[in-house]
């Protein structure tokens, strides 16, 4: 009888006995990781589709020719400068989010609010820059199901490749425009969603919600999402602006 009881007690202490948090992670944080993983698959499929089309075409719009403007300042001659500014803004917003999470670990309400506000400002600045970039490209003739109609204007966005026809350039430009606005738009939607969530979290911090709970874990969960959005931008930047 005693042997049977000891066996039951032994089973209760095994990892499979239940009542244990997997990976030592809080439930909400674990669910956030699951969501981010599924979202990563979505972005991956879009970027793989871009790569498949990009390298199956005989020609493709050149990034240093398409993205050589600084909207409102320069129409040309500054390749990748503006997107570099956009990337810097988004990376700095990730830094401020890290500082907000760190302040939360110290239960410093004022610092959490300050760094969250800076993060929100960075998100709005990035979205504003993206709106300017989209407006400029639309003015140049690029849009969903739309490319520059003028033949000479269209050719300005390509490096010269012998034997490539105008029809091939038009097809490449159309594929580029459709994928660019779809993928960057999808990413922009994630940034906008993150900004709205950050605003809600900041309001809750000001209201003392997490102070009463004794934990700023919610700030850390939102931080995971924000860092994911920044990481995705690194891949979008590489695929569209560098490759």
- Per-residue confidence band for 105, with pLDDT thresholds at 50, 70 and 90: very high
Residue 3: predicted pLDDT = 55
Q: What is the CATH number of the domain that holds 172?
A: 1.20.120.80
Do the Cβ atoms of 130 and 188 come closer than 8 Å?
yes
Residue 122 lies in a domain: yes
Instruction: Give the pLDDT score at 28.
Output: 83
Q: Write phi, then psi, for 70 (nearest 5 degrees).
A: -120, 95
Its pTM surpasses 0.75: yes
- Has residue 182 been placed in a domain? yes
Q: What is the DSSP letter of 22?
A: G
Give residue 157's pLDDT: 93
Return mean pLDDT, the chain: 90
The number of folded domains in the chain is 1
Tell me how far apart the alpha carbons of residues 149 and 187 are, in angstroms, rounded to a whole number.
28
Residue 7 forms part of a structural domain:
no
Contact 100, 195 (CB under 8 A): no
Q: 41-58 burial string, b = 16+ CB within 10 Å, else e?
A: eebeebbeebeebbeebe
Q: Is residue 121 part of a domain?
A: yes
Give the pLDDT band of residue 66 (cuts 50, 70, 90): very high
CA distance 30 to 196: 22
Residue 8 lies in a domain: no
Percent with pLDDT over 70 in the chain: 90
Per-residue confidence (pLDDT) for residue 76, from 0 to 100:
85
Q: Pinpoint the alpha helices (H) of 79-165.
A: 81-105, 109-140, 151-155
CB 93 within 8 A of CB 230: yes
Residue 13: inside a domain: no
φ and ψ of 75, to 5 deg: -85, -20
In a domain, residue 190? The reply is yes
Return the percentage of the chain with pLDDT > 90, whole number: 76
109, 211 contact by CB (below 8 A): yes
Query: What is the extent of the structural domain holding 182?
Result: 79-153+163-242
Examine residue 205 and state whether it is found in any structural domain, yes or no. yes
């Amino acid at each position: 009888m005693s042997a049977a009881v000891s066996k039951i007690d032994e089973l209760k202490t095994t990892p499979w006995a239940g009542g244990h948090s997997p990976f030592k992670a809080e439930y909400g944080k674990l669910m956030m990781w699951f969501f981010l993983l599924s979202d990563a698959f979505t972005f991956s499929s879009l970027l793989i589709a871009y790569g498949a089309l990009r390298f199956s075409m005989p020609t493709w719009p050149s990034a240093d020719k398409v993205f050589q403007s600084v909207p409102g300042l320069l129409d040309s001659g500054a390749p990748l400068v503006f997107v570099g500014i956009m990337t810097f803004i988004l990376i700095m917003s990730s830094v401020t989010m890290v500082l907000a999470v760190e302040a939360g670990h110290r239960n410093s309400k004022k610092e959490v609010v300050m760094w969250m506000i800076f993060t929100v400002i960075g998100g709005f600045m990035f979205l504003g820059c993206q709106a300017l970039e989209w407006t400029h490209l639309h003015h140049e003739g690029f849009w969903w199901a739309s490319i520059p109609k003028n033949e000479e204007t269209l050719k300005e966005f390509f490096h010269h490749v012998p034997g490539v026809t105008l029809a091939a350039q038009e097809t490449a430009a159309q594929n580029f425009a459709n994928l660019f606005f779809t993928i960057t738009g999808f990413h922009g939607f994630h940034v906008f969603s993150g900004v709205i969530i950050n605003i809600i979290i900041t309001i809750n911090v000001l209201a003392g919600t997490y102070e009463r709970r004794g934990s700023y874990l919610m700030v850390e969960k939102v931080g995971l999402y924000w860092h994911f959005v920044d990481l995705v931008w690194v891949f979008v930047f590489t695929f569209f602006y560098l490759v």
